[in-house]
Structure 1
Amino acid sequence: MTVHSGSCLCGTVKFEVQGSFDSFYLCHCQHCQKDTGSAHAANLFSQSAELTWLSGKDAVTSFTLSGTRHNKSFCKLCGSALPSTQLEGVVVVPAGCLDSRISMVPTAHIFTGSKAPWDGDFGDVPEFEGLPE
């Protein structure tokens, strides 16, 4: 069985996800843009995986936007996005909170009708391995 490990930025929350991911979506909806502060959310979904909190479970909180199914679980100390089980029968794992590597590539871009106008092909934008000097 595949086991993935992850944590929050401050290290208070640690977890494992046992099982496989069914899909990996890059969501461009306005809700995901707001709660990530970025162009899109990158979330892995599984209907069969099991989430186990190894430490810091009491530091995990969640927010569901009223009138929607949009939910975000996060560390109440550092604000890092964390896995959620708010959708019945589905574990949703923000890809960036995993410490273990995943070989899965995104399945699809979703809600592209809301795509940020500054999110596009950046072939000519310089790249740096660290902070530019």
Structure 2
Amino acid sequence: MITGSCLCGAIRYEIANPLQFARNCHCSMCRKVTGAAFATWAYVEVSNFRWVQGEEQLGQYQSSPEVTRTFCKVCGSTMQYVAKQAYQDAFGLALGTIDGDPGCKPMRHVMVGSKASWFEITDHLPQSQEAAPSE
């Protein structure tokens, strides 16, 4: 069982199966929501995910017509990236909220066409100018 939580611990969750398709997103919205050079998301099937505590503490922000992002109303931790049409049975989970080993590592950088000018990608991971389909 994979467990995770927000910074303050008000929100906790469990995931029954290993995470997959982890990627570093460099789009301006992901940078702003995290305050970092990129956000690292892993895709979770809804059927494998369960809120253990604090689901009522989830705030929502619709960052575009197709995407809703969730966060902890107490501490502000970024939690989910929910794309309405692209992944109806899954969502992006902020990999930094996992308490231990998520069982996967980022497999690519996406949206590098809009990455922060002050950040240089120096690893070996493949890069996509736009969002890449799930591998």
Map 1:22-101; keep pairs closer than 5 Å.
Answer: 22-47=20-45, 50-67=48-65, 69-83=66-80, 85=82, 87=84, 88-101=88-101
Q: Structure 1 vs Structure 2: percent identity of aligned residues?
A: 29
What TM-score, normalized by structure 1, do the two folds share?
A: 0.79
Give the letter aligned to residue 107 of structure 1: M
Q: 1:126 maps to which residue? A: none
Q: Distance in 2 between matches of 1:77 and 1:38?
A: 20
Q: Distance in 2 between matches of 1:22 and 1:121?
A: 22
What TM-score, normalized by structure 2, do the two folds share?
A: 0.78
Q: Distance in 2 between matches of 1:14 and 1:63?
A: 19
Q: Distance in 2 between matches of 1:113 and 1:121?
A: 12
Structure 1 position 120 matched with structure 2 position 117: no
Call closer, same or farther: CA 1:121–1:23 in 2, change over 3 Å. Answer: closer
Q: 2:102 maps to which residue? A: 102
Q: For structure 1, which runs of at least 5 residues remain unmatched after alignment?
A: 123-133
Runs (4 or more) in structure 1 with deviation over 6 Å come to none
Give the letter aligned to residue 95 of structure 1: L
How far is the alpha carbon of 1:12 from its aligned partner?
0.8
Q: Distance in 2 between matches of 1:85 and 1:30?
A: 17
How far is the alpha carbon of 1:84 from its aligned partner?
5.0
How far is the alpha carbon of 1:86 from its aligned partner?
5.2
